[in-house]
Structure 1
């Protein structure tokens, strides 16, 4: 790989997406209205880089083997990091072992990709795998919006810092809303595992190539 291939505009957008990850995590962990606003904004910017790097690569013929490798890996870094942070926030009720299969599935598929490359086998990102990434990103968006929305109410309506159970109780909302993030994450994990199984079927003898 030469420098010209490494520093294409689509790849630079991918590098920016990776560099934004620590700032997104910081905003979530601090868990104030200001920090969540920052995290939400940077996450939106990250999603834009993910959209435009592909568009630019196709339009200006800047697709490369390195770009095809690092782009989905950047998405995985973002998903692993954010869901990992979600596990550290008690009010979301998402235990680490629920999201662990996402990491294991992605590591396994990355190994399959490298194995295919080493043995000159065709390994293309399937439509369902792209749908998986979209589902994971949407899941993160929903959870972040849930957190940001409640903090916004606490910040601008009640002008008092409150934790999430207090906000929900103050608004007379049903307590099960605190478990929506867990339920959504479980659905996403199940779909993620299915896409891993789909790759396995296509890579196995007699499977679709």
Structure 2
């Protein structure tokens, strides 16, 4: 097994570690979760670069790399939905745990977030299916620039939202003056979430339109 594949497998192995540190409760756990996610996200660029630079591209790498990317991002977005306060923070008050029966749970931010995550999942499934159909016909669908921007915006979004949770935690326990900073970081993350959803839809449509001949075979 070559180095790029080892890096890709390491990225997959980091996903459950990210989940563990996101959920465990001790001071700073969100920052550790962020660091783990950041390392995993960076390896996405590192393994591809090494594989191309050293001519180490393999079928195993082609298979594992997109799976690792999708599982990493989708895992993060799905666990965000289990913590509704990520999308429901307001200036001036702390939101720790929102019960599913609480009125705020069904408010528009959660509806938008849920629909956005659904669109992201749908896009990944459609593009993956399209690539499988193309591969069965001996045709390779390569990543386009919009898809790369999509991935970059998703990684940034997840990073900002996780860091915001860490700042909120510190503000609530020790430094209340940090709360406004947490709000700023949170809103940047939410803005990036909207951008990533838009890019997800656009890139998905672009993939389908550009490869209609594959579906017509």
Instruction: Give the TM-score normalised by the residue count of structure 2.
Output: 0.77
Asked if 1 retains the 8 angstrom alpha-carbon contact of 2:12 and 2:72, the reply is: yes
Deviation at 1:38, TM superposition (A): 1.6
SS at match of 1:98: helix
What is the Cα deviation at residue 47 of structure 1? 2.3
Give the counterpart of 1:62 among 44, 56, 61.
56
What is the distance in 2 between the residues matched to 1:53 and 1:175?
34
Unaligned runs of 5+ in 1: 1-6, 159-165
Cross-structure match for 1:188:
196
CA contact (8 A) 2:74 2:121 kept: yes
Aligned pair count reads 190
- Counterparts of 1:117-196 in structure 2 under 5 Å? 117-157=135-175, 168=179, 181-196=189-204
What is the rounded CA distance, in whole Å, between the counterparts of 1:175 and 1:197 in structure 2? 33
Task: Determine the structure 1 residue equivalent to 2:97.
Answer: none
| Cα distance change on mapping 1:197 and 1:122 into 2, 3 Å | same
Q: 1:80 to 1:145 in 2, by over 3 A?
A: same
Residue pairs, 1:66-81, within 5 angstroms: 66-81=60-75
How far has the Cα of 1:83 moved from its partner? Answer: 0.3
Unaligned runs of 5+ in 2: 88-109
Deviation at 1:156, TM superposition (A): 4.7
Q: CA deviation at 1:56?
A: 1.6
| Aligned mates of 2:183, 2:72 — CA distance in 1 | 29
Against the structure 1 CA distance between its residues 188 and 32, is the aligned structure 2 distance closer, same or farther, given a 3 Å change threshold?
A: farther
149-158 or 125-134: bigger deviation: 149-158
Q: Tell me the TM-score normalized by structure 1.
A: 0.80
Contact 1:92 1:181 in 2 (8 A): no
- For the residue of structure 2 that corresponds to 1:33, the secondary structure is coil
Q: Is 1:197 matched up with 2:191?
A: no
RMSD over equivalenced CA pairs, Å: 2.6
2:50/2:56 contact within 8 Å kept: yes
